Amino acid sequence: MGPLQGCRIIELAGIGPAPFCAMLLADMGAEVVRVDRPSRGGDLDLGIPLPRRYSVLLRSRRSARVDLKDPAGAEVVLRLVESADALIEGFRPGVAERLGLGPDVCLARNPRLVYGRMTGWGQEGPLAPAAGHDINYIALAGALHSIGPAGGPPIVPLNLVGDFGGGGAYLALGVLAGIIEARTSGQGQVVDAAMVDGAASLMASAYGMHAAGMQTDGRGTNLIDGGAYYYGTYETADGGWVAIGSIERRFYDQLLEVLGIGPDELPERDDRSRWPERRQRLAEIFRTRTRDEWTTLMEGTDICFAPVLSLGEAPEHEHNRARGTFVEVDGVVQPGPAPRFSRTPSEIQGPPCSPGAHTAEVLADWGLATDEIDRLVEQGTVA
């Protein structure tokens, strides 16, 4: 099942965006083998200790434990590389090379290999060797500055813009593009996926509007950053929140109708100097009803409305339940695979497995002889 069935991908264990990329590819049917370290203490998800069962990013693949600091362990990975379509690594620049698993060595073993590299700053540039996290990469890309209330500080958008949006998703796109091209040319290549690049790319529309003079550098003062009173969130009588996105005029008119505001009471809708006072007026109205009451009045209309749901509430919403947006695997509720395919549907291939749970099985499936595997186990190269 899945459109990537038949693709073989090696994932050198890491945290955050590279595992997210591997999860996307594995959910779409690729055979992804995660190469874990042999003496790993606890599991790490985004650098935070987390029981493997809850490490959703690690679902859908098998794990082999290999000591990459042992030259014999590097050789094991190179044996796997010989029959792989792609390899994914998320080390700092130069680390893979020091392990004997850099792109030159891997491409010498398999000229068709797509070598996917996930970093924050990229493989070169003044900051390339520096440590960093999502928040730093999106700060340098101009994304963090643009998110937050007027007069307030930049608001951290979880790690969605750097790690996952500008990082893992772009790496997955690059790896797949490389695989497609390699099937035509017979030649692999290196994919340099830097989160600072990806975050900047995600801001393409904002940069275009800024260049046209339609978006200012001020936070919370623009059309879709919470500045416009008809595009933002409002607190309700019970302390809940609702999200309004009535940009188009006909949607806006319907919003005013439900709120009991006459069409002539708020003239010159796009006069930005009036936005703060009008936001205050709408805020007062929204505080007169509960979130559920507003949902009853607005949900399913063309107002462009949604209740702001928590992580506990979202899986229970009737629309998400109808679509199967969330699934339960091994007792853990989590997002299902996306996007969806009509003929070759994606599927979660299994819960996150223990490190090394499939070492012997994977090595045998990828061409190593039984006596060779036994020898590697005895000498501690694999576990």
CA distances from 128 to 98, 193, 273 (A): 16, 12, 42
> Is the model's pLDDT at 207 over the cut of 70?
yes
327-344 burial string, b = 16+ CB within 10 Å, else e? eebeeeebebbeeeeeee
Task: Express as a percent the part of the chain with pLDDT over 70.
Answer: 98
Query: Which of 32, 17, 39 minimizes the C-alpha distance to 350?
Result: 32
Q: What share of the chain is helix, strand, coil (3-state, %, to 5)?
A: 40, 15, 45
Nearest C-alpha neighbor of 157 from the set 173, 175, 141: 141
DSSP 8-class letter at 259: H
Catalytic residue among 36, 45, 70, 163: 163
HSE (side-chain half, CA atoms, 13 Å) at 321: 5
Identify the pLDDT of residue 123: 97
Q: What is the pTM of this model?
A: 0.95
Q: Assess whether pLDDT exceeds 90 at residue 312.
A: yes
The percentage of residues in the chain with a pLDDT greater than 90, rounded to a whole number, is: 93
pLDDT band for position 42 (cuts 50, 70, 90): very low
**Which position among 133, 145, 210, 317 bears the catalytic label?**
133
Supply the pLDDT for residue 44.
Answer: 56
Residue 6 to residue 2: CA distance in whole angstroms:
9
- Count other C-beta atoms under 10 Å from residue 271's C-beta: 10
- CB contact burial 289-314 (16+ within 10 A = b; e otherwise): bebeebbeebbeeebbbbbebeeeeb
- Calculate the average pLDDT of the chain: 96
CA distance readout (Å), 43 to 53, 186, 260, 312: 10, 37, 54, 24
64 confidence band (pLDDT: 50, 70, 90): very high
Q: Which of 23-27, 52-56, 96-100 has the lowest mean pLDDT?
A: 52-56
317 catalytic? Reply is no
All domains in the chain, ordered by first residue: 8-202+326-378 (3.40.50.10540), 231-235+241-307 (3.30.1540.10)
Residue 238 annotated in active site = no
The pLDDT score that the predictor gives to residue 39 is 67
Token output for 350: 């299994």
Query: What letter would DSSP give residue 92?
Result: P
